[in-house]
Amino acid sequence: MKTIKTILAIFFLGTITVVHAQGNSVQNETKITYYQQRGVEDAKFEMEFTAKTKTEEKAFWKEQKEYEKELKKKNRKAYGAYMASKKEAYTEHYYHCDAHCHHNDAFYNYAAFYYYQYDRPSYQRVPTRTSVNTQIGVGVPVPSVRLGL
């Protein structure tokens, strides 16, 4: 009889632990989904944001950075989901927005953090130019030719 009670007690405790772990897993997935959605919403808001003054603009971007910093301290997984969805939104925006989008310098500085190609203002997708410089020098002892790329 004692062994049956012990087995039942162990089974009961094991079941409670598994149910509790599953509950935490569902709760974490819900949080991550929320932060993914929040990241997309924040990115869209940032892309459409136009400040009336420079002070308002600085305050807005500072507040955004502080929010991300605090989220990183509180929950790294949620921060990762938030940032990944934000990067995806900025990348998508980059490919759909050309010169008709009128973003300010602060936007480009901040957006470059999310997508590396924002470092060029006005979205010009022009390949960098390569140039060839040739220098011919005539010296007394030996003539020299230099070719620079």
C-alpha–C-alpha distance, residues 39 and 84, integer Å:
8
- CA-wise closest residue to 114 among 130, 90, 98: 90
CA dihedral 124, 128, 129, 131 (to 10 degrees): 160
Instruction: Give bridge partners of residue 137 from the DSSP assignment.
Output: 144
H or E stretch covering 23: helix 2-48
Question: What does each C-alpha distance from 100 to 46, 63, 96, 105, 108 come to in angstroms?
Answer: 17, 27, 10, 15, 15
What was the pLDDT predicted at 117?
57
**72-97 residue pLDDT tens:** 999 999 999 999 999 888 888 887 77
Q: 23 pLDDT exceeds 90?
A: no
Which pLDDT tens digit goes with each residue over 94-145? 877 766 777 777 777 777 777 765 555 544 445 556 666 666 666 666 666 6
